[in-house]
Structure 1
Amino acid sequence: MMSEDRKAWEKKQRENRILDKAQDIFFKNGYEFATIIEIAKAAGYNKRSIYLYFKDKEDIFLAVVLRGLIRLHQMLDKASQDQRIHDLGRAFFDFSLDHPDYLKLIMVYEANTCVYDPGSLKNSAPGSHKYLCQQETDAIADLITRLIATGIEQKRIKTSLKPAQLMLLLWGQVFGVMQIILMRQVRFQETYGISYEDLFAAFMEMTALALSGVSPS
């Protein structure tokens, strides 16, 4: 008789195969146009078999988004060691260029599923992909907010905003800048007379000056 550990391992392998195929489809076609039937066919299963592992298409989508959020969280956490907002910005830049498809899916998730309130985790079942995505999102926001709070306490950041408010503003700004860069990445230098790397560096310099209370010259 197969051991419970072996059964659990095989189940996880099948789940990962479904997710790998679903990820390819989401990356190529986007969440809206992907179908369970398409995912099942790509994974070599029938539609009914998919429901043995995932509740619905959104559940599969959130499981893929979770992969991206975990990777982003890891990169931001590593970059936060020196307690500098600039390093977090650079880590987000690197993540966006290295994993643009994950970024697109995260943006869809943030726009449609993520909940922005202190009791957000109460709205989903513990251990579900929705719960785990929310947990990662909250952890990322908390990491950035704590870094900002430290900067304010040490007087490296001058602002009338509370840490969470400034976190939200910076998050929106860096998301917006990276979205523009990714949309216009082809022939960026020829079109704008500057590389997108240098443009982002200029954005980060302006942000650092604004946060320190120094007016750009």
Structure 2
Amino acid sequence: MAVTLKLKLKLKQQRSQERHRRILDAATRVFGDRGLAVASLTDVARAAGVPLPSIYDYFADKEDLIANVPARNFEELYEILDRQADEGSCRDRLHRLYTATFSYIVGNPSWGRVFFLEIWPSVLAEHPTIRRSIDDYARRYIDLLEEGVARREFRRDLDPHLAMSLLMGAMCHLTAVWLLYGKRFDLRMKGAAAFAALSPTFAKRRRS
């Protein structure tokens, strides 16, 4: 009897988690397609295939739902990264993180539009939940850059926060242009080229 109750509880929790993910995935698509200002919770519920009241089981309001969209998408990105071998130099791992993000954006342009055109340039980026998601992502870069300095792969006077900002700045600009001008270029290739241009500035200076 106790085993049956535990199993039922586990299945209920799994269904709840799946519905939570489904709502966030639908929100990413709807907000990306229609824009944050225009899209409604009714639109999201319809896209997720759930009754409107179900959204309020997980999120207090539209702002709360928007605030949780970045965490869901970063979670998916990290799952992709975690399936790859965590091997190689700090530069290799930094390259994988950077280029995997561009690949994720290309595969999920609605997410790119929500984050890089709507959230990042606005006061929404100050929301505590969104800020935490951004900080967690940035921390992955900083950790690798600091490790690279410690292992003497990168120059001793490298500022990890500045290096991270340069990489993120290029990513934000390239993604925004790609979205605004009809995806006229290969975003993955541009991202790889940006990394190739920036990463040599992190390396140890050779003595002449």
TM over 0.5: yes
Give the structure 1 partner of residue 194 of structure 2.
Answer: 203
SS at match of 2:87: helix
Deviation track 1:45-91 (CA, whole Å, cap 9, x = no partner) reads: 24x55323320012222333222111233445647632223333222
Which whole-Å CA distance do the structure 2 matches of 1:168 and 1:7 have between them? 42
Name the Cα RMSD after superposition.
3.4
Give the structure 1 partner of residue 174 of structure 2.
Answer: 177
Which whole-Å CA distance do the structure 2 matches of 1:205 and 1:16 have between them? 35
Of 76, 97, 110 in structure 2, the residue corresponding to residue 101 of structure 1 is 110
Give the structure 2 partner of residue 153 of structure 1.
Answer: 150
Is 1:45 the equivalent of 2:51? yes
Q: Which amino acid is the alignment partner of residue 93 of structure 1?
A: F
Q: Which amino acid is the alignment partner of residue 211 of structure 1?
A: F
Distance 1:183 1:80, change over 3 A: farther
Is 1:73–1:136's contact at 8 Å kept on the other side of the alignment? no
* Long gaps (5+) in structure 2: none
Distance 1:31 1:159, change over 3 A: farther
Is 2:174–2:190's contact at 8 Å kept on the other side of the alignment? no
Distance 1:15 1:74, change over 3 A: closer
Deviation track 1:12-41 (CA, whole Å, cap 9, x = no partner) reads: 454445444433322311222111233345
Shift of residue 214, structure 1, vs aligned partner: 6.9
* Count of aligned positions: 193
Shift of residue 98, structure 1, vs aligned partner: 1.7
* Long gaps (5+) in structure 1: 116-122, 125-129, 189-194
Is 2:21–2:72's contact at 8 Å kept on the other side of the alignment? no
Is 1:80–1:87's contact at 8 Å kept on the other side of the alignment? no
Distance 1:157 1:13, change over 3 A: closer
Of 108, 112, 122 in structure 1, the residue corresponding to residue 123 of structure 2 is 112
Distance 1:159 1:75, change over 3 A: farther
Give the structure 1 partner of residue 139 of structure 2.
Answer: 142
Distance 1:93 1:8, change over 3 A: closer
Distance 1:25 1:162, change over 3 A: same
Which whole-Å CA distance do the structure 1 matches of 2:58 and 2:157 have between them? 48
Structure number with greater CO (CA < 8 Å, separation at least 6) is 2
Give the structure 2 partner of residue 70 of structure 1.
Answer: 75
Which whole-Å CA distance do the structure 1 matches of 2:193 and 2:11 have between them? 53
